[in-house]
Amino acid sequence: MEPKFIPSQVEEKIYKFWEEKGYFKAKVDKNKKPFSIILPPPNANADLHLGQTMYVYEDIMVRYHKLLGDEVLWLPGADHAGFETQYVFEKHLQKQGKSRFDYDRDTLYKMIWDFVINNKSNMENQLKRLGFALDWSKEKFTLDPDIVKIVYKTFKKLYDDGLVYRSERLVNYCTKCGTGFSDLEVVHVERTDPLYYMKYGSFILATVRPETKFGDTAVAVNPKDKRYKKWVGQEIEVEGLIGKFRVKVIADEAIDPKFGTGVAKVTPAHDMTDFEIGKRHDLEMKQVIGFDGKLTAIAGPYAGLRVKAAREKVVEDMKKKGLIDHIDENYTHTVSTCYKCNTTLEPLPIPQWYVRIRPLADRAIKEIKAKKIYFLPKRFKKMAIQWLTNFHDWNISRQVVWGIRIPAWHCIDCDHGGIQEWVITDGDKPEKCTKCQSTHLEQDIDTFDTWFSSAQWPYATLLSQSGISNFKFQISKENSENDFFNYFYPTSVMETGYDILPWWVARMIMMGYYVIDKPPFRLVFLHGLVRDKKGQKMSKSKGNVINPIDMVDKYGADALRMSLLFGAKEGNDISMSEEKIVGMRNFTNKIWNIGRFIHLNQIPNPNVKFQMSNTILKELKKEFEEEKKAYLKNMKNYQFTKALDLVYDFLWHRFADYYIEQLKDDLRTGKIDVLEVLRSVYKENLIMLHPFAPFVTEAVWKVFEGEEKSILDSRFMIQDSRGFIHES
């Protein structure tokens, strides 16, 4: 046994051994209890970041259940990450002095595909470097044809059931990235801007956005505001920058009488609240800001100016005409921004596809309350219900090339009062319009929101593994073709970060019940975010980012893995530092050194007899049994940090520092009973540690048992700890 444990010399060899021997491959075995996890698919466009090393929680569960003798599936995959990937690729193009507008759609898609596939293999190798026991024979990509087919079938079912509709409404649109976002993707930033009090016909009113004046179609007051009651229903003449115009005064509950003067201009095409007011009062929509972020032709001499420049010019000209009463320079308000590039989002009118959320969300709430799905930590159950209760209809259209194109075709020849006729399919182009029989059909240029396809990930991946391409919704157990699906679905656990509870977890629950009539998973286990040692968010600009693969190269995968859990608490944010990883590297060395000491002294002397009544041995066996009992309880209750801390303390401070010190002389003299107890307790601790530190435990196991043996062939002596934790 080598004097030191050097991870770089054994990790790749050990992982290859596991793969070649099939330790990660899952199959249907009716004599075993199934345990399944679908890996939250990392973005295929880039290397792993430290947050994704939190998959270690899943590897812990997977390896633990393998040691319990369960049939385990951990299915890997990668997400095409539509907008995210196109954004990354555009930055790649910019370095070459090019942009997405230099290419046609098909060429750009092919370029992004090649870019992603190259990065995808890097990401997969990094998952292996971390020791993750994924069944690579079942790997899926969100753009695999069989996955896409299932996504299409789900969309058509939603449409046929009246749960998908097309509507022109305001969308949070990034004029830089060129796409709209759902409500969940908007970052709300507090900002201080000037509040302009404009002379507006007979009124003075306050606005942050004077440049949208050209799109005003009404003036509104609160119906309970007595100051303006006599004006409601009347028209007023307004002095503008490009001539006078007339607007009607309306009353609407949405107007806050305490804001400004209690009078508001209504611009239905550029404000969410104004859009709803416009629908209630049948107001015209005039689009002042284009999708390029510049003012449109209706702005007259201001057309072509970007918003900021237009605002400055409009204010300057209004001052010259005496149309500014006064300006509050320090008005604090909340602004919607792009979560990727920080550009201020523009509410712009676009026809989009929406999912009618309420029936889906209400079913999900009902099932969660009925304890069909559990949450750990438990506090996230309440949070999930709150999100599901407050969801708006889901905008699933994205104006990007990279992704699953929406299988909707509109008829060029149909015109029902200006309303387009749409034909929805399972993906194939329809032969003709269902209304006028025209073959002049054009596919929607938008792609699905990535969260729409990933919301289907648990059932889509398992259906595709079953080879079911033309599946019927609400899978029948009588069909033997569905054995793999029915054996592993619903999956056992969905483990992910708490930050994507509304974005992904809640949506998976909705779609799982809608399509399969079952939960997609039995338990939701949520981990915290990884922060630096000061508790700050990691970012390149702060210089506090830790590259996980650099740490593996330096200290080994086991050290990084254990540092993510040690001293932490499930569901809480985790403080990380290189010093913490060093501490766990020292522990892996300790594990090795204990094994080396026992191994070098395991030549028994048959002439030396030793009675089991020895007090220290009895004390060791008793303490070990207590340790193991507590370990199994912690693992059953998903308290993995407690389980790791327990074994760490026992091995280092009790087993090594106390018991071995007390018994080393007896061991060196070859006393068989001492050797057997020390070796047995040590090996049992290796098994308990294996889910947390798979490489060093496997390496030591091979020293004791032989190169062709694996610790994954062992089993816990006590096997009654399986199952899920249930709420009392």
Q: Where are the beta strands (DSSP E) in 451-603?
A: 491-497, 521-527, 530-532, 574-576
Q: Which residues of 183-214 are buried (b: 16+ CB within 10 A; e: fewer)?
A: ebbbeeeeeeeebbbbbbbebebbbbbbbbbb
DSSP 8-state assignment for residue 576? E
363/133 Cα distance (integer angstroms): 34
pLDDT value of residue 433 = 86
In whole angstroms, what is the distance from residue 329 CA to residue 306 CA? 21
pLDDT at 216: 95
Q: List 263's β-bridge partners, or say none.
A: 221
Answer whether the bond into residue 377 is a cis peptide, omega within 30°.
Answer: yes
Contact of 365 with 519, CB cutoff 8 Å: no
Residues 597 and 522 in one domain: no
Quick one: pLDDT at residue 605? 61
Please indicate, yes or no, if residue 726 is contained in any of the structural domains. Answer: no
The residue behind tokens 């409404």 is: 169
Distance, CA of 131 to CA of 110 (rounded, Å): 32
pLDDT-derived band at 611 (thresholds 50, 70, 90) equals low
Among the listed ranges 290-304, 559-573, 621-635, 689-703, which one has the minimum average pLDDT value?
Answer: 559-573
Q: What is the mean pLDDT of residues 497-518?
A: 95
* Average of per-residue pLDDT across 164-189: 89
pLDDT of the residue at 725: 34
Distance CA 523, CA 638 (A): 11
pLDDT(303) > 60: yes
- The answer on 466 and 513 residing in a single domain is yes
Pairing of strands 243-251, 218-221: parallel
Domain end call among 326, 346, 366: 346
Condensed to tens digits (0 to 9), the pLDDT of residues 66-115 reads: 999 999 999 999 999 998 899 889 989 989 999 888 999 999 999 999 99
Residues 625 and 681 in one domain: yes
Residues 153, 186 within the same domain: no
- Let me know: does 650 contact 623? Beta carbons within 8 Å: yes
Residues near 89 by beta carbon (within 8 Å), at least 6 away in sequence: 45, 100, 111, 112, 115, 402
| Residue 308 neighbours by CB distance under 10 Å | 11
Distance CA 272, CA 170 (A): 6
pLDDT in tens, 704-718: 999 999 999 998 754
Q: Is residue 420 part of a domain?
A: no
Q: Is residue 329 part of a domain?
A: yes
Strand, helix or coil at 115? helix
Q: Are 109 and 80 in contact (CB under 8 A)?
A: no
- Does one domain contain both 124 and 189? no
Q: Which residue has the higher pLDDT, 557 or 411?
A: 557
Residues 6+ apart with CB under 8 A from 244: 237, 238
Q: Which residue has the tokens 């942050």?
A: 208
Give dist(CA 515, CA 524) in Å, integer. Answer: 19
DSSP string for 170-204: EEEEETTTTEEE-GGGEEEEEEEEEEEEEEETTEE
State the CATH number of the domain containing residue 610: 1.10.730.10
Three-state secondary structure readout of 203-228:
EEEEECCHHHHHHCCEEEECCCCHHH
Co-location of 131 and 184 in the same domain: no
Of 170-184, 333-347, 635-649, the one with minimum mean pLDDT is 170-184
Asked if residue 577 and residue 522 are part of one domain, the reply reads no
Calculate what percentage of the chain has a pLDDT beyond 70: 94
Q: What is the pLDDT of residues 516-552, one digit of tens each?
A: 999 999 999 999 988 888 888 776 667 787 899 999 9
pLDDT, mean of residues 153-160: 95
Q: What's the pLDDT at 473? A: 56
Per-residue pLDDT, 183: 76
More confident residue, 723 or 14: 14
Q: What is the pLDDT of residue 718?
A: 44
Closest CA to 614 of 677, 552, 564, 680: 677
Lookup result for tokens 């302009």: 196
Per the listing, tokens 């593996």 go with: 552
Helix (H) or strand (E) holding 406: none
CATH code of the domain in which 264 resides: 3.90.740.10
**Within this chain, do residues 139 and 183 fall inside the same structural domain, yes or no?**
no
Any domain includes 540: no
Smallest CA-to-CA distance from 289 within 226, 368, 347 is with 347
Distance CA 438, CA 424 (A): 15
Q: Is the peptide bond before 490 cis (omega within 30 degrees of 0)?
A: yes
In this structure, the answer to whether residues 462 and 589 fall within a common structural domain is no
Whether 467 is in a domain gets the answer yes
Give the pLDDT of residue 425.
92
Supply the pLDDT for residue 533.
80
Length of the chain: 728
Separation between Cα atoms, residue 630 and residue 610, nearest integer Å: 30
- pLDDT at position 231 is 96
Residue in 661, 668, 516, 554 with CA at minimum distance from that of residue 600: 668
Nearest alpha carbon to residue 12 among 549, 574, 464, 535: 549
Q: Three-class SS of residue 424?
A: strand
Same domain flag for 91 and 232: no
Question: Does residue 468 carry a pLDDT above 50?
Answer: yes
52 or 355, higher pLDDT: 355
Average pLDDT over residues 242-263: 95
**What confidence score (pLDDT) does residue 277 get?**
96
Question: Does the residue 515 lie in any domain?
Answer: yes
**What is the DSSP secondary-structure string of 328-385?**
EEEEEEEEEEETTT-PBPEEEEEEEEEE-HHHHHHHHHHHHHTTSSEEESTHHHHHHH
The string of DSSP codes covering 670-701 is T-HHHHHHHHHHHHHHHHHHTTT-HHHHHHHH
Q: Which of 122-126, 458-462, 601-605 has the lowest mean pLDDT?
A: 601-605
**In 10 A of CB 642, how many CB atoms?**
18
The pLDDT, as a whole number, for residue 614 is 80
Query: Which domain range does residue 677 map to?
Result: 573-713
Is residue 382, in this structure, part of any structural domain at all? no
When mean pLDDT is compared across 120-129, 150-159, 667-676, the lowest value belongs to 667-676
In sign, the C-alpha dihedral spanning 373, 379, 384, 385 is positive
Strand partners, 245: 238
* Same domain (yes/no): 40, 111: yes
Q: How many domains does the chain divide into?
A: 3
578-586 mean pLDDT = 95
pLDDT number for residue 625: 94
* Residue at a domain's end among 313, 346, 379: 346
Q: What is the overall mean pLDDT for the chain?
A: 91
Residue 114's CATH number? 3.40.50.620
How far apart, in whole angstroms, are the C-alpha atoms of residue 545 and residue 52? 13
390 falls within a domain: no
> Residue 69 in contact with residue 34, Cβ under 8 Å?
no
Query: What's the pLDDT band for 607 if we cut at 50, 70, 90?
Result: low
The first and second tokens of residue 8, run together, are 């770089």
Of 527, 555, 584, which one is at a domain's C-terminal end? 527
User: Do 227 and 152 belong together in one domain?
Assistant: no
Is the pLDDT reported for residue 719 higher than 50?
A: no
pTM of the model: 0.89
Dihedral (Cα; 495, 500, 506, 511), 10-degree rounding: -80
Bridging pattern class, strands 164-174 and 346-355:
antiparallel
**Tokens 């049948």 belong to residue:** 282
